[in-house]
């Protein structure tokens, strides 16, 4: 049951039946009690520009993290967990549009005692409403839904010209965007959109952005079926 609405500040959990989807009730309860590192709906509006402070305060830390990185489409949190463990001094936010995935991700972070992670249930299309200018140091988009069942569905793809411009405006000067997908036509279009938005592409030979490949669940699925995947890494600043 995804959050299809573009407006990230609408709380879909208030209108849906928790008996149909138990994760609706879990999200409602967790956000009201603060039991999980999870936010949705109107609360997100107040976090714009305040994410680092909020994540530190939620976890009882005195000092906000120096870096803030978002993973869009965090699924059930495996990559986010790997990232939080690899970089304890960086704050990470996982965003997803389904109740089950964000609740599962937040539960996973909590179960592992993670102090530098948080989740948001939101459609990331309007990323500029979720984050302030320059607030982000990086953005990972691994295997965004390619919308391929019908040709007209391609309009739902996240990584297009407008999204790339919005993301660019939210990244700090040295910020990055890391894209992975199995779908070559989407990959090519997304790369065009990133380049048009003034991102600079890192050469394939460049060192890993975060020191490691951080293979995702979908990536592992494709590789286990011997299917090819594609990746590109982009910087906001020009490469000298």
Min. distance of Cβ 229 from ligand SAM in angstroms?
9
> With binding defined as CB under 6 A, does residue 105 bind ligand SAM?
no
Cβ count near 77 (within 10 Å): 28
125 contacts 149 by C-beta, under 8 angstroms: no
Among 26, 27, 158, 164, which residue interacts with ligand SAM (rule: CB under 6 A)?
158
Helix (H) or strand (E) holding 43: helix 43-47
Q: Quote the CA–CA distance of 96 and 86 in Å, as a whole number.
A: 21
Q: Are strands 230-235 and 171-181 parallel, antiparallel or unpaired?
A: antiparallel
CB 141 within 8 A of CB 179: yes
User: 48 or 59, CB closer to ligand SAM?
Assistant: 48
Active centre residues (catalytic):
145
Binding residue (CB under 6 A) for ligand SAM from 218, 229, 235, 236:
218
What contacts 149, CB < 8 A, 6 or more positions away? none
Return the number of the residue (55 or 80) whose C-beta is nearest ligand SAM.
80
CA–CA gap between residue 10 and residue 33 (Å, rounded): 19
Q: How far apart are the first and last CA of the chain?
A: 45
Show the tokens assigned to 136. 């982000």
> Is residue 142 a contact point for ligand SAM (CB under 6 A)?
yes
Contact residue for ligand SAM among 90, 105, 125, 129 (CB under 6 A): 125
Interface segment toward ligand SAM; rule CB under 6 A; list 41-49, 58-66, 93-101, 185-193: 93-101
Q: Among 47-55, 86-94, 97-105, 166-174, which window interacts with ligand SAM (CB under 6 A)?
A: 97-105
Return d(Cα 64, Cα 53) in angstroms, integer.
5
Does 124 bind ligand SAM (CB under 6 A)? Our answer is yes
Choices 11-19, 89-97, 111-119, 206-214 (CB under 6 A): range interacting with ligand SAM: 89-97
101 lines the binding site for ligand SAM (CB under 6 A): yes
- The residues that touch ligand SAM, with contacts defined as CB under 6 A, are 2, 72-73, 75, 95-98, 101, 123-125, 142-145, 158, 216-219
């Amino acid at each position: 049951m995804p959050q299809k609405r573009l407006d990230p500040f609408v709380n879909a959990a208030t209108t849906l039946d928790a008996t149909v989807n138990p994760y609706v009730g879990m999200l409602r309860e967790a956000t009201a009690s603060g039991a999980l590192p999870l936010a949705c709906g109107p609360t997100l509006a107040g976090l714009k520009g305040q994410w680092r402070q909020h994540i530190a305060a939620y976890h009882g830390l005195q000092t906000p993290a120096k870096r803030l990185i978002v993973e869009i489409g965090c699924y059930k949190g495996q990559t986010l967990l790997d990232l939080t463990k690899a970089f304890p001094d960086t704050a990470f936010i996982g965003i997803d549009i389904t109740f089950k995935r964000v609740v599962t991700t937040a539960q996973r972070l909590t179960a592992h005692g993670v102090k530098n992670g948080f989740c948001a249930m939101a459609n990331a299309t309007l990323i500029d409403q979720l984050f302030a200018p320059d607030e982000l140091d990086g953005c990972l988009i691994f295997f965004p839904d390619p919308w391929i069942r019908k040709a007209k569905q391609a309009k739902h793809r996240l990584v297009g010209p407008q999204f790339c411009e919005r993301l660019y405006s939210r990244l700090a000067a040295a910020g990055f965007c890391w894209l992975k997908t199995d779908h070559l036509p989407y990959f090519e279009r997304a790369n065009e959109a990133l380049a048009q938005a003034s991102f600079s592409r890192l050469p394939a030979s460049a060192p890993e952005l975060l020191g490691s490949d951080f293979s995702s669940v979908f990536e592992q699925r494709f590789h286990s079926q011997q299917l090819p995947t594609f990746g590109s890494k982009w910087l906001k600043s020009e490469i000298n």
